[in-house]
Each structure stands twice: as structure tokens, then as C-alpha cells.
Amino acid sequence: MVKETAYIIDTDSDFINRLKKLLEEEYIISVFSDPQKAFDLILKKKPDIVITELLFPSLDGINFIASLKENCVESPIVVATKLPVSQKFAKIFEISDCFNKSIADEEIYERIKKSSGWKKRKVSPPLLPIITEGKIGEAIKQILDEIYEEKRTLCYQYLGKKDFLRAIEIVAFLRRVYPTDIRTQGLIREVLFAPQAISQKEGQTSFEVEPQKVNALLRRCALAHEANDIKKMLDCGKALLKAEDVKNGIKVFREIVVFSEENPYLAEQVIIKEIKPKIVPWDVLAVLTIMVSMLFKPYIFASLAVVFSCCSLISKSKKIPQFVIPIAAVVVFLRLANVPTLSTKFERYLARKAQERMLYVTPKFFYTNEGTLKIRYRVLKSTSVLIKIKSASQKKTLIDNPTHEAGVFEVEWNGKDENGNYFRSDLNVIFKCGAATYQEKVYAGLR
């Protein structure tokens, strides 16, 4: 009797010993602990059966199986795993079988024998949706992006419910339809290596679309094809992929591409939705504050920009923070190094403008019993000058000069009125220069 060949890819020594006892009389068994080492040998030697786990320290089982299928593996593949799996998983990747290791030895033997009974045959790589240029390609891309986000969100919801069986089905679907999407890789490992994924037994569900629904969608697609209605064909392909019918969904999208190339005028039926970028408020605040930091108070506004950028990162928005944070660091560094920047030039500009103003009072918020109020005034030519301070119930005359010389002058005031009492409320500084009158309000009070 000629023995068949079986490749076991697993790190579980107890299960490997179980399989050896079940299969050693009829199979020549080769064991691999690393799927990457087994990959080339499987494609070259074409064993009669490949039995693999999904959990590995390096390449995970889902990517291992997907890569074998993409390289036209001819050997039947059986998944035997500690994780919860359903026949939906096998259907997605078009493999022979999958089951949990906890089933009885007799059932394991029967299922492996049934799978290895397949005749090895030449196979083609699995089909993927074709995305072309123009309206049809853009429409298919938008549909695929929409389905991806929907399924990804759904996967996280099932992870939150600890329904690992359903979560594994979804990541298998995503890996099958979106093989090059980097986000899928992280999600796969997050699901496979989730805490309690092995031990959780209750609350596990599987999703399988009803055959009647699939047939109805395929009939509707055929009718749309006959009616030259590409929009309805796109809707049918979208519905099939949403129902996770990978084979038929991809088939419909490929038919749409071929059909549209044969009838390019039909592309005008397709209306492309304009995707409006999602505006994150933290991004807006980060951009505004970093722009202000270049002109005014660089330390304060650069720090605020970093804070808002961190809030954006928490909101999973990465584009703006990756520019704002480095710019904020540069703004602060230049300021510390006393390198002339826009902010220093702007401050000098404000100071120069203050010198040019006829009346400039600082501070704007003044405790009359603490410190002094500085009043800077400008006289263009020799004329009469009157400076007085007035509130609702108090007043003080600082300067009353009928022949004041020209120039820029500054006077300080200690906050007291004519009777020597401190001003108790908001006040106005009134500057009369010849026939012109200037006035500035100061928010004042006692501390």
C-alpha cells in the first residue's frame, strides 16, 4: 500500500502526537512549527493533505492559507485550530475543511481522510475585483472602501462582545477581498491573539447568507445586464459582498468591468459620490494655534497646538498632527535660540505701531493699589496738552500744559485721584492734544 503524504504545521505537541497516532499507518507525516519554512515545500512537493493551525508566533495562519491559495496551491488544506471556526471560513478561502481541535479523534480522522481524497488538480489564483480607471473603477473603489469600513467596524463590535467565531469570519473575508490592505494585517493578529479567544465558548455566532437571497441577487444582476443597467449591477455586487459571498461578489464586479469596457457609453449611468473629508475640530484648532504661534506668543500657542494635536491623535486623526507637532518644536527652538522669526518681527511691528500711536496705555487691566499705569502719548507739534483720568465718581488731572513741545513722552500714574484715594472702578484715560481728543479705557479696581 502506497502511503499518502501529510504536512502538519503546528506548534501544539499534544495535538501533533494525536494526529500521528491517527494517521501514521496511512500517511508519511512531516511536521513544521513555522509556516514560512513549510510554504515553499508545500508548493514544490504538493502533499496529499496540509493540516495547519491558525496561531503562530510569526506568520499567522490566515495569511499563510491566503498566500498558499494566491500561489495556486494544489494540495487540499484543512484547518485544525484551538480557535472557534466555522465552515464559513473554509468557504471564504475555498479550502477543504476546518474544525476545532476539541472534536473527537474519530471525527478528525474521517474529516482528514475525506479531504485528502480530493484529486490534486491545477488551480488558478483566486479572483479579486478589478479596479480600472474612469467612473466604473472609481465607483467600484468607493464600494469596496465602504464595505471595508463597515466590516472593520463590525469586527470590533464582535470583539467587544467576545464573539470570536464571527470576528474570525470577518477578518478572513477582509483578507480574501483586500489582500494588500495593511490595516487588515493588524486586525487579523488582534482577533487571533485576543484574550479569551481560545477559552471563550459561549456567545459564538456564525453568519451565512441564505441561498435564496444569493440566487435572487444573481437573477437581478442578470436582468440588469440584459437591460444594460450598470448601476443595478454595481448594487448587486455590493449586496453580495456585504453578504460576504466572496466568490459571486467578485465575479459580478469583474463582469461589470468587462461589460463597461465593451459598452463605454454605459459608464455615464454611474454617479460617483463625492467623498467629503471628515473635519476634526482638534485639527482645525491645532492648525489655527500653530499659525498664531508664528506671529504672537510662540510659547503659549505652540504648546496649545501640541495639546490639540494630541487630542487629534486620540481621535485617530494623524495627518495634521504629523505636521503640526514638528512645526511647534521648531517655533519654540527658534524662539529659545533668539533667531529672528515672524513672531519677533511682529512684536517689533506692534511696538513700532504703539510708538506711532497718539495715545498708548498699559496695562489694560490695572489694580490701582498695585503698581503704576504707564501712559505714552505723542505730540506732533507744539500745542496745548491735557491728560486726565476719569471714572464714574473719581478724576485726576495728570498734565495740563498750554504750550507742550513736540515729541513722544511717557508718564506714570500711581492710581490715586485728586484726594489721594485709589480709583475703585473702570476708568478712561483722556488725552486732548490741541483740538483733537483721544481716549482709552482701562479695566481697573482694588485688589
pLDDT in tens, 244-281: 999 899 999 888 888 777 776 655 555 444 445 667 78
Verify that 252 and 312 share a domain, yes or no: no
Note whether residue 15 is domain-resident.
Answer: yes
Confidence of residue 111 (pLDDT cuts 50, 70, 90): very high
In a domain, 439, yes or no: yes
Query: pLDDT at position 356, please?
Result: 63
Residue type, 253: F
Average the pLDDT over 277-297 and give the result: 83
pTM, 2 dp: 0.62
Q: Which domain holds residue 375?
A: 357-445
140 and 57: one domain?
A: no
For residues 381 and 334, state if they share a domain. Answer: no
Is residue 108 domain-shared with residue 134, that is, in the same domain? no
Instruction: Answer with the one of 68, 94, 116 that is the final residue of a domain.
Output: 116
Nearest to 102 by CA among 204, 244, 24: 204
For residues 59 and 39, the model is more confident at: 39
In Å, what is the CA distance from 98 to each residue of 65, 87, 116, 122?
Answer: 12, 6, 13, 22
Decide which of 264, 292, 313 is a domain's last residue: 264
Pairing outcome for strands 97-100 and 383-390: unpaired
CA distances from 200 to 82, 156, 197 (A): 11, 16, 6
| Total count of domains within the chain | 4
Report residue 189 as a C-alpha cell. 493578529
Q: Does a structural domain hold residue 397?
A: yes
Residue 90 inside a domain? The answer is yes
pLDDT at 122: 60
pLDDT digits (tens, 9 = 90+) for 42-97: 999 999 999 999 999 888 899 999 999 988 888 999 999 999 999 999 999 999 99
Give the residue with greater pLDDT, 442 vs 126: 442
Same domain? 309 vs 382: no
When pLDDT is averaged across residues 198-220 and rounded to a whole number, the result is: 89
Instruction: State the pLDDT at residue 275.
Output: 46
Whether 122 maps to a domain, the answer reads no
Residue 336 is assigned to a structural domain of this protein = yes
Question: What is the mean pLDDT of the segment spanning 384-390?
Answer: 93
Mean pLDDT, residues 106-128: 78
Q: 161 or 273, which is more confident?
A: 161
Task: Tally Cβ neighbours within 10 Å of residue 63.
Answer: 19
Q: Is the pLDDT of residue 384 over 50?
A: yes
Whether residues 235 and 133 share a domain: the answer is: yes
Q: Are residues 361 and 299 in the same domain?
A: no
**Over residues 304-317, mean pLDDT:** 85
Q: Are residues 88 and 175 in the same domain?
A: no
Q: Say if 43 falls within a structural domain.
A: yes
Do 16 and 38 lie in a common domain?
yes
Instruction: Taking residues 228-234, report their average pLDDT.
Output: 86
DSSP letter string, 405-441: PSEEEEEEE-SB-TTSPBP-S-EEEEEEETTEEEEEE
For residue 413, the domain's CATH number is 2.60.40.10
Residue 332 lies in a domain: yes
- Which among 116, 150, 183 is the end of a domain? 116
